[in-house]
């Protein structure tokens, strides 16, 4: 067995998602375990943490026992020991940073959205292909246990003919005035690459297409529920992006579904994100971790509304939990394992950059529908 070291520049190492999911829950444990098994060998990530603020990057490096960190993007890209560039910094500067990384001959792995527009995403893809570089995008949500379970039901034909689906996502994100906001303020500026549709819809594309079916066309309403917010310094600003987006999606298999996403809603459902699929064979609802099912034969015959009296029915009692078999690895770590094996031993990759571009194409189609107030075909032909 050989240890195959691979150098990774981690950009945005101090960020919310970079420091937690990618470092603390994926790359750092992989190193602590002596590397990732790959064929007869083990892949050992060597990390160079990159950020803007010296003190903060140094603190993250210290917290994980890492010696190598920098605030100098140019110097990081110039170091031949690091052949992969990973971007988990704020969305806004992603295209410029990845363009430089590709020009420096680095394989790239990136958080979503891979670019603000599909055209920019395609330019990155073509540049990476032309340079013969490997390129991947984070598509973590399908590795959530709940979604793995509902995907398993779909693969096993449980739903029969799928007739519809419903994806519900969101919670209340405070405005930073009344109470601290749970999201960075750039999420609420168009100039910062913010907006719920651009931020969350890339996930909905691969979840729906992997589990339910390919989307043919969409119609979306995207609105701003909270027009004023305060940033990290308490400075108030006008929100110029959507924080509430509702989509009707028609799939190629004939199913029609809704996607309701909101950072201005209060949670009263099974989980922060739920996906319900209905079919002639049965229905199932998945949350982040759990999944409930009701087959055709278990479906109660609901007879009537009772306007006079609450009959006290517990409609959840007619569902049973589906345990299924799930891979329990952290979803972001699964992405890393697949990407590293892809780069080092040529294993197939699910979350390719092309898939990441299709995710953006979907978000773009929904945004266009909202601004032009009409149905829009999801054109995925180019990626």
Ligand X SMILES: NC(=O)c1ccc[n+]([C@@H]2O[C@H](COP(=O)([O-])OP(=O)(O)OC[C@H]3O[C@@H](n4cnc5c(N)ncnc54)[C@H](O)[C@@H]3O)[C@@H](O)[C@H]2O)c1
- Enumerate binding residues for ligand X (CB under 6 A): 12, 14-18, 51-52, 88-93, 111-112, 138, 140, 184, 199
Whole-angstrom Cα distance, residue 174 to residue 271? 19
Residue of closest CB approach to ligand X: 15
Whole-angstrom Cα distance, residue 86 to residue 114? 11
| Nearest Cα residue to 354 out of 142, 204, 135 | 135
Nearer to ligand X, 91 or 369 (CB): 91
Structure tokens given for 344: 């080092």
What number of other Cβ atoms are within 10 A of residue 330's Cβ? Answer: 18
Nearer to ligand X, 138 or 284 (CB): 138
- Secondary structure (3-state) at 148: helix
Closest approach of ligand X to the CB of residue 201, in Å: 11
What lies within 8 Å, CB to CB, of 144 at 6+ separation is 288, 289, 331
Nearer to ligand X, 54 or 161 (CB): 54
Nearer to ligand X, 201 or 322 (CB): 201
Closest approach of ligand X to the CB of residue 15, in Å: 2
Closest approach of ligand X to the CB of residue 363, in Å: 11
Closest approach of ligand X to the CB of residue 106, in Å: 17
What number of other Cβ atoms are within 10 A of residue 39's Cβ? Answer: 13
What number of other Cβ atoms are within 10 A of residue 142's Cβ? Answer: 19
Helix 196-211 to helix 353-372 angle, to the nearest 10 degrees? 120
Residue 263 and residue 245 in contact, taking contact as beta carbons nearer than 8 Å:
no
Nearer to ligand X, 198 or 218 (CB): 198
Whole-angstrom Cα distance, residue 167 to residue 170? 10
Closest approach of ligand X to the CB of residue 199, in Å: 5
Nearer to ligand X, 17 or 24 (CB): 17
What number of other Cβ atoms are within 10 A of residue 79's Cβ? Answer: 14
Nearer to ligand X, 18 or 257 (CB): 18
Closest approach of ligand X to the CB of residue 73, in Å: 9
Closest approach of ligand X to the CB of residue 72, in Å: 13
What lies within 8 Å, CB to CB, of 353 at 6+ separation is 108, 110, 114, 121, 124, 125, 128, 135, 136, 137
348 phi and psi angles, rounded to 5 deg: -65, 150
Closest approach of ligand X to the CB of residue 186, in Å: 6
Nearer to ligand X, 151 or 293 (CB): 151
Closest approach of ligand X to the CB of residue 184, in Å: 4
- Secondary structure (3-state) at 98: helix
57 phi and psi angles, rounded to 5 deg: -65, -45
Structure tokens given for 276: 């319900």
Whole-angstrom Cα distance, residue 102 to residue 125? 10
Nearer to ligand X, 184 or 281 (CB): 184
């Amino acid at each position: 067995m050989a240890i195959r070291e691979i150098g990774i520049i981690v950009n945005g190492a101090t960020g919310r998602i970079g420091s937690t999911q990618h470092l603390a829950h994926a790359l750092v444990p992989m190193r602590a375990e002596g590397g990732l098994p790959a064929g007869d060998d083990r892949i050992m990530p060597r990390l160079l943490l990159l950020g803007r603020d010296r003190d903060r990057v140094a603190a993250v490096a210290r917290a994980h026992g890492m010696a190598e960190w920098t605030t100098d993007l140019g110097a990081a890209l110039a170091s031949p020991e690091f052949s992969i560039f990973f971007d988990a910094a704020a969305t806004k500067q992603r295209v410029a940073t990845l363009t430089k990384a590709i020009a420096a001959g680095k394989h790239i792995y990136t958080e979503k959205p891979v670019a603000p527009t599909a055209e920019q995403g395609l330019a990155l893809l073509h540049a990476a292909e032309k340079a013969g570089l490997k390129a991947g995008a984070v598509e973590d949500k399908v590795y959530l246990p709940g979604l793995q379970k509902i995907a398993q039901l779909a693969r096993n034909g449980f739903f029969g003919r799928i007739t519809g689906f419903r994806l519900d996502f969101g919670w209340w994100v405070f405005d930073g005035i009344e109470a601290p906001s749970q999201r960075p303020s750039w999420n609420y500026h168009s100039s910062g690459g913010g907006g719920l549709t651009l931020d969350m819809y890339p996930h909905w594309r691969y979840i729906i297409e992997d589990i339910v079916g390919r989307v043919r066309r969409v119609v979306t309403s995207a609105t701003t529920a909270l027009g004023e917010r305060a940033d990290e310094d308490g400075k108030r600003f006008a929100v110029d992006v959507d924080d509430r987006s509702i989509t009707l999606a028609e799939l190629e298999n004939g199913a029609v579904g809704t996607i309701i996403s909101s950072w201005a809603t209060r949670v009263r459902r099974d989980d922060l994100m739920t996906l319900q699929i209905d079919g002639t064979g049965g229905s199932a609802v998945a949350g982040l971790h759990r999944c409930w099912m009701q087959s055709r034969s278990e479906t109660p015959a609901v007879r009537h509304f009772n306007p006079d009296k609450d009959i006290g029915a517990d409609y959840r009692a007619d569902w049973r939990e589906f345990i299924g078999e799930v891979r329990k690895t952290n979803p972001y770590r699964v992405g890393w394992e697949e990407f590293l094996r892809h780069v080092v031993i040529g294993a197939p990759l699910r979350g390719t950059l092309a898939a990441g571009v299709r995710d953006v194409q979907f978000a773009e189609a929904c945004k266009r529908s909202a601004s032009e107030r009409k149905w829009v075909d999801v054109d995925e032909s180019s990626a």
